[in-house]
Amino acid sequence: MMVKWLKSPLHQGPDPSLIYRPDMGTEAAKDKGSFRNYTSGPLLDRVFATYKLMHTHQTVDFVRKKHAQFGSFSCNKMTVMEAVDMLDSLVDESDPDVDFPNSFHAFQTAEGIRKAHPDKDWFHLVGLLHDLGKVLALWGEPQWAVVGDTFPVGCRPQASVVFCDSTFQENPDLWDPRYSSELGMYQPHCGLENVLMSWGHDEYLYQMMRFNKFSLPPEAFYMIRFHSFYPWHTGGDYRQLCSQRDLDMLPWVQEFNKFDLYTKCPDLPDVDKLRPYYQELIDKYCPGVLSW
């Protein structure tokens, strides 16, 4: 598929969301720039500022410190549904598409998956869970260390990273010879499990799910960990780091991305009617009070 190149002083690379799109209705198909538009719109200044801070401060040292800070999961004790409710007060400052609380997006995503994959209840739950790591922003973490597209630290950012050409100039790792080449500190095809990703809600929730021993299949953990890694799952970059397992899991992440991205709309779901079904799934796969 031909990639649309963005003619903007903010970003000279391809819009990664245009490489992979699910089947869309007639109205949505008329305007392919309606999602992940990083060149115009009322939220653009806020979005660019968030990515500028992210791409300046997300370094190898910073990410390692965040793993140490949050790796004991001693911030809070709460159930999954309590965490969902906390997202009522969060609006994602990196998202150019929506400006409503993140909790609604969780149910929108889950319901989209449920409709398309009625036989995979674990997949429905992934839709509800996928952004719960954003509670970090409600505990004092800046949004540039919580939200937005992720990318590997410790190597040179590749072309499909959002705002790649205009936001990394002040990142010290780009001037460090250990981290500034295409492979940086990694070996070819080392596997994404051995790559240090930029810190945010994906990595935090993935680690939290492992800590609390969620009984979900490996595909679910993979979707959670890499759903914001757009430069990989839609941009086609960072293949030099991938193992065969990564490539085998990629279609699952891409399938999830359909619903994460294209279920966003201002028609908000009736959450009260949906809660009993999703509570049953929580009780099945990740019950009780959890460590966050």
Higher-confidence position of 15 and 130: 130
Mean pLDDT of 26-35: 41
Quick one: pLDDT at residue 261?
76
* Chain mean position to CA 121: 21
Kindly state the average pLDDT of the residues 81-102.
71
Does 102 score more than 90 pLDDT? no
Annotated binding site for Fe cation: 105, 130-131, 201, 227, 260
- Binding residue positions: 36, 92-94, 105, 130-131, 134, 148-149, 201, 227-228, 260
**Least confident interval from 43-47, 124-128, 254-258:** 43-47
Percent of the chain topping pLDDT 90:
72
- Banded pLDDT at 15 (limits 50, 70, 90): very low
Give yes or no for residue 267 having a pLDDT over 70. no
pLDDT in tens, 237-247: 999 999 999 99
Buried-state track 153-164, b at ≥16 Cβ within 10 A, e below 16: bbbbbbebbbbb
Q: Closest Cα to residue 10, out of 231, 171, 163, 230?
A: 163
Mean pLDDT calculated for residue range 184-202: 98
Cβ pair 290, 212 in contact under 8 A:
yes
Confidence of residue 182 (pLDDT cuts 50, 70, 90): very high
Rounded distance between C-alpha atoms, residue 216 and residue 200, angstroms: 21
**Beta partners for residue 14, in sequence order:** 5
The kind and range of the H/E element at 224 are: helix 218-226
**Lowest pLDDT segment from 1-15, 41-55, 274-288:** 1-15
Residue set of the binding site for substrate? 36, 92-94, 134, 148-149, 227-228
Burial 167-186 (b: 16+ CB within 10 A, else e): bbeebebeeeeebeeeebbb
More confident residue, 35 or 53: 53
Give the residue-averaged pLDDT of 158-176.
97
What's the rounded Cα separation, in Å, for the pair 198 and 237?
15
Q: How far apart are CA 129 and CA 54, in angstroms?
A: 23
Read off the tokens for 2.
């031909």
Which pLDDT belongs to residue 160?
Answer: 96
